[in-house]
């Protein structure tokens, strides 16, 4: 039997993997993990092996157990977040809540996938009112509220009721002792309530005030003075930060329980003001449709996101090299040094709040320069702030409309080697006109990554959007958005509305507005996309799809059909929810 020394077991496991003995490597790593649960290298390699063996739940358990005893293990937390982004467990009964808490509390870790797991875990563990302060469940609840939007309907319902009780007097926020002008969140029973109320205030900031507000709460809010130190803690549970969080000059009036949140809000204000100065001159959208869309994103930049975890170094470049090699023309017109290592000029068209731009900068580094454009200045401020937080200086953000690109002067000589345009063209009056303009900025032999809404997959959403518009719901009114969302959660009228509770875009105000009340949306079909590719002489190279769908497609259409767009169209007709997010695909421009 192998030695019980964890480092020797780790070395033996690596040797077993080199020989292709994955099962044996898993046994060795399990023994090493049991002997040294704090060892990050063992825990992460064990998780990788369990994933290779198609045992994702065991990988989750191993990483969570490790984080429970080594809460500063950032690489393990990132691995756990990556798994939750790809896998939705059937049950969380065996997941270590303390380990999940540790992951949520670490900086530079994508919190949203962890939050999506924490909500169901807490729902499985019982009513939150029964969570004893100091218990793993209570601590996880606080960590979730402070790190990511709550996306669990039952947990949200309980939190909404607690907030209502705090506002209407069941548990008052009162003036604290000590320093004049300071207030604190009042305790509620022997466990104390201050951590929960403070965490709920941060959650309201994260979800942009999406929780419902009833008539009694509205009347109470009308009489609330957020400038009163004795009332500001309740105000922070409902009102946007500009109503209760003053600039630094008013910091002394805030209760201690809000000090951390207020500091983060002010820091974000300063960073976005700094970012604005580097965006160049302000411009207007080129047409009425663009103006309406830009106005929406000025009011509700979408999405508000936290952290991007880079793919393994070199993976993005290797992918480009692989799909370019499939093209009949693109391979002959590769950048100097090749797609794998050569310099890249990249255009992110319609970058929004910058998540795709940051992902691209990380994926294609080093030796890549990016120009990221959007016509919403509020979105660009957020994007530039997040890029700076990620330490990226290869992205230049500029305010521009795609329709104006023929006259736009980029920071590098056109055309680009690569253009990414995700979730943008279907919000234009004529998506294909915008697409043609972008192709004019793409060099011969260049690649383009495109994301478009599927008319088939969004059929139910289109019906609901039309019904809401017909009912006169004001898409720019936050109260109207909250009320429509609350009705769908509480009284869904059909199966489609019931599925919205599980949607990724239903738990912040900007998400709901983007999903249900967008200023302009024109979903497309693969037949229309195919006709455009034919007219423009573009080559379809790759459909970016989840692995289980790729397997189903190969079984139905054959592996050789993966580059046949009509085969994908036929598959979608048989499986209409295939592209429930959007079509994501790569094309090549003739060289």
Give the Cβ contact number of residue 41 at 10 Å.
16
pLDDT at res. 129: 86
Calpha distance 51→189 (Å, rounded) = 45
Convert 40-90 into a string of H (helix), E (strand) and C (coil).
Answer: HHHHHHHHHHHHHCCCHHHHHHHHHHHHHHCCCCHHHHHHHHHHHHHCCCC
Exposure string for 426-442, b = 16+ CB within 10 A, e = fewer: bbbbebbebbebbbebb
Element (H, E) at 543: strand 539-543
- Domain for residue 575, yes or no? yes
Residue 402 has pLDDT above 60, yes or no: yes
Residue 311 has pLDDT above 90, yes or no: no
Calpha distance 144→199 (Å, rounded) = 9
Contacts 24+ apart (CB under 8 A), 48-56: 48/79, 49/13, 49/17, 49/22, 49/25, 50/26, 51/83, 52/22, 53/22, 53/23, 53/26, 56/83, 56/86, 56/87, 56/89
pLDDT at res. 171: 38
Calpha distance 305→189 (Å, rounded) = 35
The closest alpha carbon to 108, from 145, 86, 81, belongs to: 81
pLDDT tier at 95, thresholds 50, 70, 90: very high
- Domain for residue 306, yes or no? no
pLDDT at res. 249: 61
The closest alpha carbon to 102, from 37, 31, 48, 51, belongs to: 37
Q: Are strands 344-349 and 368-374 parallel, antiparallel or unpaired?
A: parallel
Helical residues (DSSP H) of 424-508, grouped into ranges: 431-439, 459-470, 478-490, 495-500
Give the Cβ contact number of residue 564 at 10 Å.
16
Q: Are strands 583-588 and 539-543 parallel, antiparallel or unpaired?
A: antiparallel
Calpha distance 565→539 (Å, rounded) = 10
Q: Are strands 368-374 and 395-399 parallel, antiparallel or unpaired?
A: parallel
Q: Are strands 416-422 and 583-588 parallel, antiparallel or unpaired?
A: unpaired
Mean pLDDT of 263-292: 93
- Domain for residue 302, yes or no? no
- Domain for residue 284, yes or no? no
Residue 414 has pLDDT above 80, yes or no: no
Same domain, 424 and 530: yes
Contact 587, 447 (CB under 8 A): yes
End-to-end CA distance of the chain: 60
Contact 310, 363 (CB under 8 A): yes
pLDDT at res. 187: 36
The closest alpha carbon to 511, from 148, 81, 78, 107, belongs to: 148
Contact 303, 511 (CB under 8 A): yes
Calpha distance 284→271 (Å, rounded) = 23
pLDDT at res. 248: 72
The closest alpha carbon to 254, from 183, 169, 346, belongs to: 183
Calpha distance 190→195 (Å, rounded) = 13
Contacting residues for 507 by C-beta, under 8 A, at least 6 apart: 149, 150, 151, 156, 207, 210
In the chain, the number of structural domains is 4
pLDDT at res. 251: 61
Beta bridge partners of 422: 451
pLDDT tier at 88, thresholds 50, 70, 90: confident
Same domain, 96 and 57: yes
Residue 172 has pLDDT above 60, yes or no: no
**What is this structure's pTM?**
0.93
C-alpha 180 chain-centroid distance = 42
Same domain, 111 and 133: yes
Q: What sign results for the dihedral spanned by CA atoms 572, 566, 360, 536?
A: negative
Mean pLDDT of 379-407: 95
Residue 423 has pLDDT above 90, yes or no: yes
Residue 58 has pLDDT above 90, yes or no: yes
**CATH code, 540:** 3.40.50.150
pLDDT tier at 1, thresholds 50, 70, 90: very low
- Domain for residue 166, yes or no? yes
Same domain, 507 and 529: no
Contact 167, 201 (CB under 8 A): no
Residue 484 belongs to what domain range?
468-512
Which range is least confidently modeled, 161-175, 438-452, 505-519, 560-574?
161-175
Residue 81 has pLDDT above 50, yes or no: yes
- Domain for residue 307, yes or no? no
Residue 182 has pLDDT above 60, yes or no: no
Q: What is the pLDDT of residues 34-50, one digit of tens each?
A: 999 999 999 999 999 99
Same domain, 408 and 528: yes
| Range picked from 1-15, 184-198, 347-361, 487-501 for highest mean pLDDT | 347-361
Q: What is the pLDDT of residues 197-215, one digit of tens each?
A: 999 999 999 999 999 999 9
Show the tokens assigned to 271.
Answer: 């960073």
Contacting residues for 69 by C-beta, under 8 A, at least 6 apart: 37, 38
DSSP string, 447-460: EEEEEE-BTTTTHH
Domain boundary at 148, 173, 207, which? 148
The closest alpha carbon to 557, from 539, 546, 573, 544, belongs to: 573
Per the listing, tokens 């088939």 go with 456
Contact 225, 253 (CB under 8 A): no
| Range picked from 191-200, 240-249, 390-399 for highest mean pLDDT | 390-399
Calpha distance 198→163 (Å, rounded) = 11
Q: What is the pLDDT of residues 454-486, one digit of tens each?
A: 999 999 999 999 999 999 999 999 999 999 999
pLDDT tier at 344, thresholds 50, 70, 90: very high
Contact 376, 259 (CB under 8 A): no
**CATH code, 14:** 1.25.40.10
Average pLDDT, the chain: 91
Same domain, 435 and 350: yes
* DSSP-derived 3-state class of residue 399: strand
- Domain for residue 295, yes or no? no
Domain boundary at 148, 179, 195, which? 148
Same domain, 206 and 259: yes
- Domain for residue 301, yes or no? no
Same domain, 414 and 382: yes
Same domain, 142 and 233: no
Same domain, 410 and 264: no
Contact 524, 426 (CB under 8 A): yes
Helices 97-104 and 74-86, interaxial angle, to 10°? 100
Same domain, 92 and 174: no
Residue 190 has pLDDT above 50, yes or no: no
Same domain, 163 and 258: yes
Mean pLDDT of 495-512: 91
Residue 408 has pLDDT above 90, yes or no: no
- Percent of the chain scored above 90 by pLDDT? 82
Higher pLDDT, 187 or 353: 353
Contact 152, 122 (CB under 8 A): yes
CA distances for 352 relative to 263, 377, 382, 462, angstroms: 25, 9, 9, 23
Residue 430 has pLDDT above 60, yes or no: yes
């Amino acid at each position: 039997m192998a030695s019980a020394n964890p480092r020797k077991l780790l070395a033996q496991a690596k040797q077993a993997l080199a020989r292709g003995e994955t099962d044996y490597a898993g046994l060795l790593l399990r023994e090493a993990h049991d002997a040294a649960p704090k060892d990050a290298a063992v825990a992460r390699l064990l998780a990788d092996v369990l994933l290779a063996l198609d045992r994702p739940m065991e990988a989750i358990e191993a990483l969570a157990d490790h984080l429970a005893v080594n809460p500063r293990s950032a690489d393990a937390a990132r691995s756990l977040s990556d798994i939750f982004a790809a896998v939705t467990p059937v049950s969380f009964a065996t997941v270590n809540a303390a380990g999940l808490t540790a992951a949520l509390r670490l900086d530079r870790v994508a919190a949203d996938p962890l939050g999506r797991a924490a909500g169901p875990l807490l729902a499985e563990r019982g009513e939150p009112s029964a969570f004893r302060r100091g218990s793993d469940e209570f601590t996880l609840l606080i960590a979730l509220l402070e790190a990511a939007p709550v996306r669990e309907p039952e947990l949200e319902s309980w939190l909404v009721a607690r907030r209502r009780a705090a506002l209407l007097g069941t548990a008052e926020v009162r003036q604290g002792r000590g320093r004049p002008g300071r207030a604190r969140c009042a305790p509620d029973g022997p466990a104390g309530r201050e951590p929960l109320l403070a965490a709920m205030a941060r959650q309201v900031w994260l979800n942009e005030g999406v929780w419902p507000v009833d008539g009694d709460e509205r009347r109470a809010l009308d009489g609330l003075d957020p400038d009163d130190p004795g009332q500001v803690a309740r105000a922070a549970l409902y009102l946007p930060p500009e109503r209760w969080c003053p600039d630094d000059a008013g910091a002394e009036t805030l209760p201690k329980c809000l000090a951390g949140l207020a500091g983060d809000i002010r820091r974000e204000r300063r960073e976005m003001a700094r970012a604005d100065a580097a965006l160049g001159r302000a411009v207007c959208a080129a047409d009425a449709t663009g103006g309406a869309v830009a106005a929406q994103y000025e009011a509700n930049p979408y999405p508000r996101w936290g952290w991007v975890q880079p793919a393994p170094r070199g993976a993005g470049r290797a992918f480009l090299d692989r799909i370019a090699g499939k093209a009949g023309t693109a391979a002959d017109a590769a950048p100097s040094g090749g797609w794998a290592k050569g310099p890249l000029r990249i255009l992110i068209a319609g970058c929004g709040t910058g998540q795709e731009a940051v992902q691209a900068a990380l994926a294609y580094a080093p030796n890549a320069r990016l120009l990221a454009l959007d016509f919403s200045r509020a979105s660009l401020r957020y994007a530039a702030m997040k890029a700076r937080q990620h330490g990226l200086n290869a992205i230049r953000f500029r305010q521009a409309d795609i329709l104006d690109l023929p006259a736009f002067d980029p920071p590098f000589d056109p055309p680009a080697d690569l253009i990414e345009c995700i979730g943008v063209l279907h919000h234009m009056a004529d998506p294909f006109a915008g697409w043609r303009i972008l192709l004019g900025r793409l060099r011969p032999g260049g690649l383009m990554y495109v994301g478009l809404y599927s008319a088939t997959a969004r059929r139910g959403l289109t019906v609901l959007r039309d019904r809401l518009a017909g009912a006169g719901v004001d898409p720019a009114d936050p109260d109207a958005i909250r009320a429509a969302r609350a009705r769908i959660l509480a009284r869904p009228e059909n199966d489609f509305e019931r599925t919205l509770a599980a949607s990724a875009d239903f738990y912040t105000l900007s998400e709901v507005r983007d999903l249900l009340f967008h200023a302009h949306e024109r979903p497309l079909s693969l037949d229309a996309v195919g006709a455009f590719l034919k007219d423009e002489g573009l080559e379809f190279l790759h459909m970016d799809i989840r692995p289980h769908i790729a397997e189903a497609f190969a079984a139905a259409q054959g592996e050789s059909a993966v580059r046949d767009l009509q085969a994908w169209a036929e598959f979608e007709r048989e499986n209409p929810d295939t592209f429930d997010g959007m079509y994501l695909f790569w094309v090549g421009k003739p060289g």
